[in-house]
């Protein structure tokens, strides 16, 4: 695997881990704001917002694509 593909895979895996960290934080801190989450995880609030939006989109796509 060349470095470019390896770097892209690592970025995707890191984003997935960050998303999981955000979801875990929200689970234990209901009502948390983007500012609370970003301060706790050391990410910008724009990045937190983006990760949450992409996660919601992924969940929606998964729910739509599941055969009933």
In the chain, where are the structural domains located? 3-65
SS3 breakdown of the chain: % helix, strand, coil, rounded to 5? 80, 0, 20
Q: How far is CA 15 from CA 10, 18, 64, in A?
A: 9, 5, 23
Residue 58 is predicted with a pLDDT of 80
Distance from the first to the final alpha carbon of the chain: 38
55 pLDDT tier (thresholds 50, 70, 90): confident
The dihedral sign for the CA sequence 8, 20, 63, 30: negative
**Choices 2.40.160, 3.40.50, 1.10.10, 3.30.1480: CATH for 3-65:** 1.10.10
What is the per-residue pLDDT across 13-23, written as a single tens digit (0 to 9) for each?
787 888 888 88
């Amino acid at each position: 695997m060349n470095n470019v593909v390896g770097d892209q895979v690592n970025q995707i895996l890191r984003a997935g881990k960050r998303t999981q960290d955000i979801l875990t934080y929200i689970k234990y801190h209901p009502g948390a704001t983007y500012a609370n989450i970003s301060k706790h995880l050391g990410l910008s609030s724009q990045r937190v917002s983006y990760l949450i939006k992409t996660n919601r989109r992924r969940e929606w796509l998964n729910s739509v694509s599941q055969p009933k």
